Amino acid sequence: MTDLPTLRESLEQHGLMAKKSFGQHFLLDLNITRKIVRLGGPFTGDPVIEVGPGPGGLTRALLESEASHVIAIEKDSRFLELLTELKGPYGDRFEVIEGDALKVDEMQLLTERNLSSGAHIVSNLPYNVGTPLLIKWLTGPWQPKSLTLMFQLEVALRVVAPVGDDDYGRLSVIAQVLCDCDKLMDLPARAFTPPPRVDSAVVRLVPKNERPDAAVIKNLENVTAAAFGQRRKMLRSSLKSLGGEALLAKAEIDATLRAEQVPPDGFLRLAAALT
Ligand code: SAM
C-alpha cells in the first residue's frame, strides 16, 4: 500500500479528461484492476509490459503484484507526468514510455533494459487497435509468456469461440492454434469512466509450447482470410485460389465443409499443406 492519491484525484490534479480518439475508457476502481491482475497472474519475477496505462489503475495493481518490472507504453503524452509519479513508491521497477504499441519492438525494449524476454502483456486495450495488437503479439517474432487483455465483449467472444459457434472465425482460429485461450471475467460498460457503448471481457492467452514456423503462421493468416471471407461457401470454392480440392485433400479436410465447421487444427493442417 502507498499514499498515492486516488485515481480520480490524480486525474483532477492533472486536469485530465478521457479522449475518444485514443479509445479512453478508464478503470478507476482498484478492486477491479487488482482482480484482473490476480486472475491474469501470477507474474512472479517476470517483467510485464502494459499497453495504454492511462491514469494508471491497472498499472498500480501490476506494481503491487510480484512482477519484477512494469513497462508501460502510452500514446497519449498528457498522461506521462501523472504516471511518472508512480516512480516515487515503485522506483526502478516502473518505467513509462511514450509510444504507439503497434510500432514497438518488444524484444528490443526488453533486451535494451537487460530484462528477461519472458515477459507478460497486460492491457485494458484501446478498442480501436485491440485486434491489430492481438494479431501482432500472436503472429510476430516475439513471444510473450502470457497475454491478459480486456476487449469489448464481442471480440473476447470471438477469441474463445469453439468451432461451429456463431462467433467462430478467423481470430478464433489464429488465437486457438497458437495459444490456450480462456475468458476470465465479464465487465459491464458502467465499470468504466466514461462508459463505452458495449460491455467488455478479460481474456487470457498462453502461447503453446509447440509453435508452427513463421511461414506456416503466414499461411494460416492467408487460408483463414480466404475461408472466412466467404464463410457461407464450401471450402472447395472459397479456397480455390489457394489450391482448392487438391489442397483440401492434402490436408485431409472434406471439401464440402464451410469454414465455420473446421476446427483450429484443421486450419493448421491446411496452412502446413500450403507450404
Ligand atoms: N489502462 C487504463 C485503464 O484501465 O484505466 C486505460 C485504458 S484505455 C481503454 C486505453 C489506453 O490506451 C488509453 O490510455 C490510450 O491513451 C492508450 N492508447 C491508445 N492507443 C494506443 C497505442 N496505439 N499505443 C499505446 N497506448 C495507446
Ligand 1 neighbourhood includes 74 CB (under 6 angstroms): yes
pTM listed for this prediction: 0.96
Q: Whose CA is nearest to atom 10 of ligand 1?
A: 126
Cβ(57) to ligand 1 under 6 A?
A: yes
- Cα separations (Å) of 114 from 4, 23, 58, 69, 107? 29, 32, 24, 11, 11
HSE of 200, CA atoms in CB hemisphere, 13 A: 23
Domain definitions of the chain by residue range: 7-207, 214-274
Fold of 214-274: Helicase, Ruva Protein; domain 3 (1.10.8)
Phi, psi of 95 (to 5 degrees): -145, 135
Average pLDDT over residues 66-75: 98
Closest ligand 1 atom, CA of 127?
9
Alpha-carbon distances of 208 from 21, 36, 136, rounded to whole Å? 35, 22, 16
Which pLDDT value is given to residue 3? 82
First to last CA, the chain: 54
Indicate if ligand 1 lies below 6 Å from the C-beta of 105. no
Ligand 1 test: best mutation among 24, 125, 128, most atoms within 8 Å of CB?
24
pLDDT tens digit string along 108-148?
Answer: 999 999 998 899 999 999 988 999 999 999 999 999 999 99
**What is the model's pLDDT at position 1?**
58
Q: Could you say which architecture CATH assigns to the domain 7-207? A: 3-Layer(aba) Sandwich (3.40)
Strand partners, 71: 49, 95
Q: pLDDT digit string (tens) for 195-215?
A: 999 999 999 999 999 999 999
| Confidence label for 41 from pLDDT (cuts 50, 70 and 90) | very high
